Amino acid sequence: MTTYYYPSSAPIISLDAVQKGRTIHEDIAQDLLKRGLIEGEAPHYSISLSIAKNTHQLPSYTKTKGLDKERLRQMVLQYLSNAGEEGAKRDSIYEYIKDVLPINKTEEQKLRMLGDLLKNMSKECLIKAEGRTWYTIPQS
């Protein structure tokens, strides 16, 4: 009689839990991170890009991760450029980009993310704030 060794199903079950937005044990998460199966930080893990590609979940992966920072920056610049001399408040900028921010973040986290993005763009002299209104800075 032959005995077959079946590896533990814990990583598969845990990967499924991550995909469904559930919390997994930190030891298992660290193992999955090392193997490149998940990405992110506790407790907000998501499946990795390679898993998303191999399982045909790229649209869902992209929605979960949101657009990359450079694309968000371009959207903010475009929005402020469209706003012209009137400028725009953070809330209206948020309304414009909220659908491309990571869906696994709370609204508070998304607003903080936008605030950080605006501050960084201001430090880079791309935009400026006057009171609570944001404007583009003409580039020469």
In the chain, pLDDT over 90 holds for what percent of residues? 54
Is the entire prediction scored with pTM above 0.75?
A: no
Angle at 62 between CA 61 and CA 68, to 5 degrees: 135
Q: Per-residue pLDDT for 3 more than 80?
A: no
Mean pLDDT score across all residues of the chain: 88
**Which residue do the tokens 């490149």 mark?**
36
| SS3 track for the chain | CCCCCCCCCHHHHHHHHHHCCCCCCHHHHHHHHHCCCEEEECCEEEECHHHHHHCCCHHHHHHHHCCCHHHHHHHHHHHHHHHHHHCEEHHHHHHHHHHHCCCCCCHHHHHHHHHHHHHHHHHCCCEEEECCEEEECCCC
Residue 41: partners with Cβ closer than 8 Å, 6 or more residues away: none
Are 60 and 116 in contact by the 8 Å Cβ rule? The answer is: no
- Segment 56-114, tens digit of pLDDT: 988 888 887 888 899 999 999 999 999 999 999 999 999 999 999 998 888 999 999 99
pLDDT of the residue at 10 = 66
